[in-house]
Chain A
Amino acid sequence: MNQLERDLRESLGRRQPPPGFADRVLARTRQPEPRRISWAWLAAAAMVLLMIGGIGFVREQRRQAEGEKAKQQLMAGLRITGSKLSQVQARLTRIQERAVQPRLEQ
């Protein structure tokens, strides 16, 4: 061992921590641990939020589809009613014409 190694050994010798060190460490172990948010809980919460969001989205889509279907049915109904009214109107016109024709001939 050379002089430098001897000097290093002496310089880096064991030293004791300041008084009360062990008590301070033990006091810290007795403190209640701050509540840590676990990743599992965080993931579960995210899943629940996603599920709620997903269900809401599906419901909204279904509601929109039902509304669209009802609108289509109403439009079809109105179209049918419109054509029926036209037919009735045409028949009425024909009847009226037939009633008016003989009078004109006289």
Chain B
Amino acid sequence: MTKADFESAVHEHQGMVYSIALNFFHNAAIAEEVAQEVFLQLFESLKAVKNGSHCVAWLRRSTVHRCIDTLRRASFRHEVQLDQFPEIPSEVPESDPLLQEGLRRLIASLPEKPRSVLVLRFGEDMDADEIARTLEMPVRTVWSHLQRGTAMIRDKAARYLMEREDEPTRTRSS
């Protein structure tokens, strides 16, 4: 990979790298910093990257690993309070910005492994085999994290909705 290839890779894949980091942290400043570091790491490893598809795989893997490193180094815990999750109406429209924002917050509150798997599965549309290769874990583990992650999101969302339903009753009784 040449320096010219690197420049075009930055322009072509900036959205992918930034989105993975943003979905991981739900924080634009951290996402930009992580994305910049990933591209600088790519610049230092130009000889190791063979072609375009290898570059994409390399960027995905490096971004997830750097996200996990950043999370561990800074002990950054993006704990989400349930009241931060927006109300989900019974009839969900096709595209609901509030719901999407709530789901992003919930994903950013998951433990690092299920979070990485969910970001790659639903953000990058990768299948379990690709995720397993990227995160260097067995496919069965990927499935396990996928099920665990979606279950945790479903559980958190349900708890939030139950608390919201209880609120008017409590207000009325008091």
CB neighbours (8 Å) of B118 from chain A are: 8, 12
* Complex-state Cα separation, A16 to B14, whole angstroms: 7
A30 to chain B, nearest CB (A): 10
Render B119-156 as a binary contact track against A, CB cut-off 8 A, 1 for contact.
10011010000000000000000000000001001100
Q: Interface residues of A: mostly helix, strand, loop or mixed?
A: helix
A-B pair count, CB < 8 Å, reads: 80
Residues of A within 8 Å of B, CB-based: how many? 22
Please tell me which one of the listed residues A3, A12, A17, A28 contacts residue B107 in the complex, with CB atoms under 8 A apart. A12
The reply to whether B104 and A12 contact each other, CB–CB distance below 8 Å, is: yes
B88-113 interface (Cβ within 8 A of A): 92, 95, 99-101, 103-104, 107
Most B CB atoms within 10 A — which of A3, A5, A15, A18?
A: A15
Collect the chain A residues with CB atoms within 8 Å of residue B7's CB: 26
Q: Is the CB of A12 within 8 A of B122?
A: yes
Interface residues of A (CB under 8 A from B): 3-5, 7-18, 21-22, 24-26, 28-29
| A-B CB contact pairs (8 Å), 9 listed | A4-B153, A4-B154, A7-B100, A8-B118, A12-B122, A21-B35, A25-B35, A25-B40, A26-B7
